């Protein structure tokens, strides 16, 4: 079975979410749980590091859509970084680059938060 | 690896999301052996994952006591995947083209899967019969595969 793992770490005034493995309808609930926990703790500045994410389907994309409104409503954001090309292509097909900030490097995304 | 000119393979999967990684492996192996490149293989695999996710979640409401079938037939330049279930049917024409902006903030991403399937494949057809539903996904080999 394709594994999925999500780890979180604090960085300045933001939290980095490191995604590993395969994000599909089976594993999306794990990501949903992590978002819910962060938001429950009042953490709204979130950088998602896709560096080690090998696969995403619409079930995974749906999780980012589900939480962005609440996060932005609390003056935060979900910024996406370090995507492999094949993962970026899926986001791109659905028009995410118009609605989310997507960075080549997670440090760029963190700088945006830390300069606020 | 020698390219397979003709493919006829079928597998039955349990209606549970844990089966999705097995489905992807099955599709990936066949698409690779038919001569698709890495990018095409990942696109075909994603489209089939979306079709199967719909079956598991909507046709069978994630009840693992049911099964669905994935049948791959390929020849010439055509690679065809048929996903067949015996659960609740649906009308794809009633699923609107997703407006990502409009969906933001809702805990449902419905319609994204079908949208992706249509973007990623050359042809996607849904067919509902009396007791069976089929999704037929076709992708053509655009370039002659390397010998």
CATH of the domain at A32: 3.30.750.24
Q: Which residues on chain B are in Cβ contact (under 8 Å) with A95?
A: 100
Classify residue B14: in a domain, yes or no. Answer: yes
Average pLDDT in chain B: 88
Taking only the tens place, the pLDDT of each residue in A34-78 is 999 999 999 999 999 999 999 999 999 999 999 999 999 999 999
What's the CA gap between B139 and A49, in Å, rounded? 32
The 10 Å Cβ neighbour count of residue A48 is 24
Nearest to A58 among B56, B106, B112 (CB): B112
Q: How confident is the model at residue B107 (pLDDT cuts 50, 70, 90)?
A: very low
A109: pLDDT strictly greater than 90: yes
Which stretches of B2-104 are DSSP H helices? 20-34, 38-54, 100-103
Residues of A with Cβ-Cβ distance to B105 under 8 angstroms = 65-66, 68-70
Tokens (6 digits) for B87 = 């659960």
User: By residue range, what is the domain housing residue A66?
Assistant: 4-114
Q: Which residue has the higher pLDDT, B11 or B131?
A: B11
Looking at per-residue pLDDT, the higher value among B15 and B147 belongs to B15
Q: Which residue in A4, A24, A30, A95 has the most chain B C-beta atoms within 10 A of its own C-beta, making it the best mutation to test that interface?
A: A24
Asked whether B60 and B66 are in contact (CB, 8 A), the reply is yes
- pLDDT digits over B29-55, tens only? 999 999 999 999 999 999 999 999 999
A39 part of contact set with chain B, CB < 8 Å = no
- Please give the share of chain B, as a percent, with pLDDT higher than 70: 82
Q: Does B47 reside within a domain?
A: yes
Instruction: Report the CATH number at residue B51.
Output: 3.30.565.10
| Domain assignment of residue B2, yes or no | no
Contact (CB<8Å) B21/A22: yes
Q: Is B41 helix (H, G, I), strand (E, B) or coil?
A: helix
Given a cut of 70, is residue B144 above it in pLDDT? no
Interface membership of B57 toward A (CB under 8 Å):
yes
Is there a contact between B20 and A95 if contact means CB atoms under 8 Å apart? no
**Within a domain: B46:** yes
* Number of domains chain A contains: 1
pLDDT band at B147 (very low <50, low <70, confident <90, very high): very low
pLDDT in tens, B71-83: 999 999 999 999 9
| Number of domains into which chain B is organized | 1
**Angle subtended at Cα A35 by Cα B61 and Cα B54, rounded to the nearest 5 degrees:** 20
More confident residue, B89 or A74: A74
Instruction: Give the strands of the sheet with A45-56, arranged side by side.
Output: A4-11, A14-23, A45-56, A77-81, A102-103
Size of interface A-B (CB pairs under 8 A): 79
């Amino acid at each position: 079975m394709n594994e999925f793992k999500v780890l979180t770490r604090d960085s300045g005034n933001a939290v980095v979410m490191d995604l590993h493995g395969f994000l599909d309808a089976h594993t999306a609930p794990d990501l949903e749980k992590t978002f819910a926990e962060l938001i429950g703790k009042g953490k709204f500045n979130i950088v998602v590091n896709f560096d080690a994410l090998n696969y995403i389907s619409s079930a995974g994309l749906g999780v980012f859509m589900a939480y962005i409104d609440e996060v932005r409503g609390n003056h935060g954001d979900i910024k996406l970084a370090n995507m492999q090309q094949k993962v970026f292509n899926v986001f791109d097909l659905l028009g995410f680059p118009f609605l989310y900030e997507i960075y080549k490097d997670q440090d760029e995304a963190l700088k945006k938060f830390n300069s606020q | 690896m020698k390219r397979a000119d003709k493919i006829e393979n079928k597998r039955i999967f349990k209606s549970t999301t844990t089966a999705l990684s097995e489905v992807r492996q099955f599709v990936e192996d066949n698409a690779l052996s038919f001569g698709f490149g890495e990018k095409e293989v990942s696109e075909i695999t994603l489209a089939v994952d979306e079709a199967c996710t719909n079956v598991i979640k909507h046709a069978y409401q994630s009840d693992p006591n049911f099964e669905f079938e994935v049948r791959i037939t390929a020849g010439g330049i055509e690679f065809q995947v048929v996903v067949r279930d015996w659960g609740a049917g649906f009308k794809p024409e009633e699923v609107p083209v997703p407006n990502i902006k409009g969906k933001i903030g809702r805990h449902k991403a419905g319609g994204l899967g079908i949208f992706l399937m249509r973007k990623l494949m050359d042809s996607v057809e849904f067919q509902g019969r009396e007791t069976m539903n089929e999704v037929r996904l076709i992708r053509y080999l655009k370039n002659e595969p390397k010998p």
